[in-house]
A and B are shown apart, each in its own frame.
Chain A
């Protein structure tokens, strides 16, 4: 395996209220809209386009689950980039309960990893369209922080 990870960017988002859709007793869809945010990394910085999307996780009975987010980034020089990310969160039940209660939790105490994908305009940001990324996240009382590494 030749894959190495190189830090690419950090995204910070403020989250709206959490909603749930109980499709079936064993199938719970969550919905959290991303209200605003910023991102920055080498050669890449800007804001999250307000109201451009959210996270729509499948929530497990223990509060962990698989998340699936989609929203837009806008760079400082005006490029709009679609970000779609899927990932996993799992942790001991007491850690999940604290996270859901909005408490400050040590981010090393749970697994929150994701693989974001981007659709960016050709040119300066075209490399985002052919690069694999892996990320780690942490929940904070008012939002989330994601750090992404590109696979080189």
Chain B
């Protein structure tokens, strides 16, 4: 098998988001499976290699299945100190020990293509938030 030429990805810390979230609102059980819950982002801040800013809005939606796994979808709107808007969207899983205690997700960004942050839109990212905290650590996949 010829495998030696595919690059091996590496993770590098990129951003830290400190989120302020509303209490969860449970929508209920869906006919398509799982229990849907929603949270609104009411504030927060971001800092890292893409600059600093605030979290101007967003929401999280959680779908908890009968296998105990919760599928998490998030969208956050960041407004950086220079006024630029950045859209972050992620999807992943909330798991419990013996697996990771918390949420891990894949993350993508939308930014102005001519901005100094254009690299955010041309890379894959992973995020990790430990249970009981509202700090999301975001790593770029190199």
Contacts and interface: CB of A to CB of B under 8 A. Distances in A.
Interface residues of B, number: 31
Contacts of B128: 1-3
B122 interface: yes
Interface string B107-127: 010000000000001111010
A interface: dominant SS = strand
Contacts of B104: 3, 132, 151
B82 interface: no
B7 A136 contact: yes
A5 B104 CA distance: 13
Interface string A78-94: 00000000111010000
A88 B124 contact: yes
Given A114-B124, A138-B5, A130 B11 contact: no
Nearest to B96: A130
Contacts of B13: 1
A113 B8 CA distance: 10
Contact of A129 (B6, B69, B123): B69
Given A132-B105, A132-B126, A134-B124, A149 B100 contact: no
A88 B122 contact: yes
Interface stretch (B19-27, B38-46, B52-60, B87-95): B87-95
A122 B7 contact: no
Contacts of A134: 9, 11, 106, 124, 126, 141
B37 interface: no
Contacts of B99: 130
Interface of B: 1, 3, 5-11, 13, 67, 69, 91-93, 95, 99-100, 104-106, 108, 121-124, 126, 128, 137, 139, 141
